[in-house]
Amino acid sequence: MKTPSLFEFETQPVRILDEQDGETWFVAADVCRVLEIANPRNAYGRLEDDEKGVRTMDTLGGQQEMMIVNEAGLYSLLFSSRKPQAKRFKRWVTHDVLPSLRKTGSYSLGEKLTVSQQISMSKHRLGLMKELMRSRNKVMREALGAEITRLSGSMGLPVPDLDGLGTVEPPQADLVADFWAALLQLDSKGIAYNHSKDPQLIGLNMPHLVELFAANGIQTVISTDVTNALKRCTDPQFLGLKAVDSIIRKTTTKCWVFKKPAQIQAQ
């Protein structure tokens, strides 16, 4: 029994065995996952006997028998796939993995880790990448990017395109300024949008504003970024979502309520 080395192709784990006789074997299930082959067992069964084998390997669930394929078997699977990643996967194997294995006996530098450690580190790295994809906070994204870079280096893996994993939230001040500027455009046209009877407050019903913006050719979009920025707004101060006795609809209407800023005159 030999412990496989865990590599990564475009965030997908690929386990590889480098035998003492110079033969390199790939775990068939990993290859089929990368190539999006729906039935790995059927694909494995179609290979010639000298293109495949079975090895007992350590996994998180204990020792298990794994179907493996050699280079010839790998190419047979590649030729059977029409997925766009097949060409990239072949190049990764032939230009990166195999030359490095033949030259150094290892694809990555550094101390060899156990399968459990490799899988744990790989899962942690992928988790950080998913968190980076979700995060839009600039400081948090920088911290996550630094940790992904550090972890990738320690695993001997390339650093992924961090800028391609999500985006930074637009500056709050710009979003708020654009929103209030759109309301000033409504003011200039004499269009009522404030549902509040209190002269010190502004009551905004977002679906109503969307209709007004569209009807008056105002390009401002009330996106999630905008509403999140408005919730943190201090000038004018956001007071909360409240039921307002609307002076426009003459009925109770759910509104975003703000203290009226000086630059917006009473309706």
Give the pLDDT band (50/70/90) at residue 60: very low
Mean of pLDDT values over 144-171: 74
CB 157 within 8 A of CB 108: yes
pLDDT of residue 267: 41
pLDDT of residue 40: 86
Q: Looking at residue 117, what DSSP letter applies?
A: H
Highest mean predicted confidence (pLDDT) among 119-123, 190-194, 227-231: 190-194
Give the pLDDT band (50/70/90) at residue 266: very low
For residues 10 and 198, give the distance between their C-alpha atoms in angstroms, rounded to a whole number.
57
For residues 176 and 56, give the distance between their C-alpha atoms in angstroms, rounded to a whole number.
60
pLDDT of residue 109: 36
Mean of pLDDT values over 213-239: 89
Question: In this predicted model, which residue has the larger pLDDT, 58 or 95?
Answer: 95
Instruction: Look at the block and give the residue holding tokens 């003492």.
Output: 20
In one letter, which amino acid is 117? Q
Helix 71-80, helix 85-92: angle, nearest 10: 160
Mean per-residue pLDDT of the chain: 81
Q: Reply yes or no on whether the pLDDT at 260 is more than 60.
A: yes
Highest mean predicted confidence (pLDDT) among 98-102, 119-123, 217-221: 217-221
Mean of pLDDT values over 231-249: 92
81-85, 101-105, 185-189: lowest mean pLDDT where?
Answer: 101-105
Question: In this predicted model, which residue has the larger pLDDT, 251 or 39?
Answer: 251
Q: Reply yes or no on whether the pLDDT at 252 is more than 90.
A: yes
Question: Which helix H or strand E contains 239, and what residues bound it?
Answer: strand 238-245
CB 122 within 8 A of CB 11: no
